[in-house]
Structure 1
């Protein structure tokens, strides 16, 4: 039987109430209680239960900041249903500013977990039983890994009609179709009957203003889509679903000069970066083998041979790539989509390619 979103152990959330409380999920190495801060907000009318989770990887705090913002300044009121907000899932990693759990395991490869397993497996099981099973839908917020940034994109199993519905409603420009890694929160939640999407945006250890704005907008869009909130969705000027992404790697060690930024449309053969020695001599000119959009990139310019540098999302056809390029080129100045491209590149030195 599905657990009630109103009952959380000794805590009861009545219809029309918003409650802040902590959910005990285990013990730390010292034996102290490990508690997840949580907000449960119920409308007066019954309806769907949407969970918003963040920091399954403990250093990915862009989503944490967005959830805090929604708690402090909600841009909506609930017409029906329930909203569950958990700013940090991997609380033990969060307290150490690290991606992983103290036992060095990846929590996002450990769901649905087991009550008799490792520290990580036990936390995964507790979260799955106490949070995931209470939800009808979940939006799970992530960032790129260490020394990388991600242009905002949705990861979703678009073969699942409810997942595709959530993905489109959230309102990122790029949707990557796939079921996700085995043991990830979204894949195991979908398999358990809870449609779940992942948002990938920005960097670790930061709350980036435009990522926060996009996430607030996207969550509001999803709430409207589900009928939990009344209003009109704010969607991007273009949106593509891609089936494939590719990494472009350095062939030689050196120091990079970037010539493209996150969110930029690139063509096959276009120069992405120049790889030089420390004394400025060119090691290699790195070109895109693909038509696509820069979905992610390294922020560490010092690279070894084989290091991944640019993550390219590949449109299904040249026509789709052309439409995407034209739409990006026509973005309104000061729009959220335009501001994202500007701000995500502020810590990357992007320059024009020098003539050889």
Structure 2
């Protein structure tokens, strides 16, 4: 990794140079390599490609804390903070306002975002066959723990099932994203979404840690943790219900709640409490995301619904109580 050689049975931190600040201080990409004593797959986990996404950083920390290189089969490459400059400022983007997750595979002589993407591709992804990309909701949105992946690919679907999130959503590849660039290199990639930006949502962290460990177990790298109590609900289609007016938003729907088309999800009110509009579900499905913004304008996305399918009887619709514990099923986004 870079100029460092990590021997079998060892854990080592590596700093990969990114740039230099105006103060003369160097900015490096922090990487930790857990090189197992026994042969096995090489896997990466990363977080904070968007600098305001803190949940994944804690997921990486807890996963690393539970690993022993002498017992591990294969190698885990962990990058807890990819967008170092954004993370230090609590900013989703880089200083030049570029979105790092639209800059892959990057170029050695491109923009700052392009150079970071190029470094990550060549030092991390090029060495791995499987990756888990950790994210949270953005723009005052919170997400139910979910895996987004190419569910039409058998190996990807198998690892998504092993992760055991409440929902796994078939998501098309987006040009410029890490997932797209890694797939072009032949890697199998899972994208984990959970929680809200710039918050440490314990329920999102716990689900992420358990899921990553299950994937490592599925790959034969560690001993298997407990399987999820229920299989993930499967969705091939989702969409946001949008506000049809402007007002103060009072949502009644909770993350993980199963709703039917036409069901009331909440309402919009003016500053004196007069109801302006109701918000209704536009499809049957599960609430996998919702805005936490108190004020919304006409056309703003307010509730994300995933339609659930049962392919062969193996996937079951998840009831709200089975997705989140009672203390998490309320308005936890503040």
Structure 2: runs of 5 or more not aligned:
none
Q: How many residues align?
A: 333
Is the contact between residue 161 and residue 231 of structure 2 (CA under 8 Å) also seen in structure 1?
no
Deviations 1:113-136 (A, max 9, x none): 011211111111111111111111
Kindly provide the CA deviation profile for residues 52-100 of structure 1, in whole angstroms up to 9, marking residues without a partner as x. Answer: 0000001111000111122334499743100111110011111111110
CA distance in 2, matches of 1:175, 1:199: 9
Structure in which a larger fraction of residues adopt strand: 2
Root mean square deviation of aligned Cα:
2.2
- Is the 8 Å Cα contact of residues 63 and 213 (structure 2) preserved in structure 1? no
Q: Secondary structure at the residue paired with 1:215?
A: helix
- With over 3 angstroms needed to count, the CA separation of the structure-2 counterparts of 1:292 and 1:119, relative to structure 1, is same
Which deviates further from its counterpart, 33-42 or 304-313?
33-42
**1-side partners of 2:278 and 2:213: how far apart?**
43
1:289 counterpart residue number: 282
Q: Are residue 328 (structure 1) and residue 314 (structure 2) matched?
A: no
> How far off is 1:160 after superposition?
2.1
CA apart distance, 1:226: 0.4
Residues 291 and 71 of structure 1: CA distance in aligned 2, closer, same or farther (over 3 Å): same
Rounded Cα–Cα distance in structure 2 between residues aligned with 1:24 and 1:304: 43
Tell me if structure 2 keeps the 8 A contact 1:273–1:285: yes
- Give 1:1-356 correspondences, 5 Å limit: 8-28=1-21, 32-74=25-67, 78-316=71-309, 324=317, 327-328=318-319, 331=322, 337-339=323-325, 342-343=327-328, 345-348=330-333
Q: Distance in 1 between matches of 2:165 and 2:12?
A: 30
Change (3 A) 1:110 1:228: same
Deviates more, 1:152-161 or 1:51-60: 152-161
Whole-angstrom distance in 2 between the partners of 1:232 and 1:122: 38
Relative to structure 2, which stretch is displaced further, 234-243 or 20-29? Answer: 20-29
Is the CA contact (8 Å cut-off) linking 1:224 and 1:233 kept in structure 2? no
Instruction: Encode CA deviations 1:312-342: one digit per residue, 9 max, x unaligned.
Output: 001237x99x952xx41563xxxxx432x63
CA drift of 1:21 comes to: 2.7
Q: Over residues 104-163 of structure 1, what are the superposed CA-to-partner deviations in whole Å (9 max), with x where a residue is unaligned?
A: 100000100011211111111111111111111100000000211001110101222222
Q: List per-residue Cα deviations over 1:289-331 (Å, max 9, x = no partner).
A: 11000010000121111110001001237x99x952xx41563
- Residue pair 2:6, 2:12 contacting (<8 A) in 1 also: yes
TM-score, normalising length from structure 2? 0.93
- 1:144-190 Cα deviation digits (max 9, x unpaired): 00211001110101222222122111111211112321111011101
Other structure's SS at 2:273 match: coil
Write the distance in 2 (CA, Å) between the matches of 1:75 and 1:81. Answer: 11
CA distance in 2, matches of 1:175, 1:75: 29
Structure 2 distance, partners of 1:232, 1:70, is 12
Structure 1 residues not aligned, in runs of 5+: 1-7, 332-336, 350-356
What is the TM-score normalised by the length of structure 1? Answer: 0.88
In structure 2, the residue corresponding to 1:12 is in which secondary structure? coil
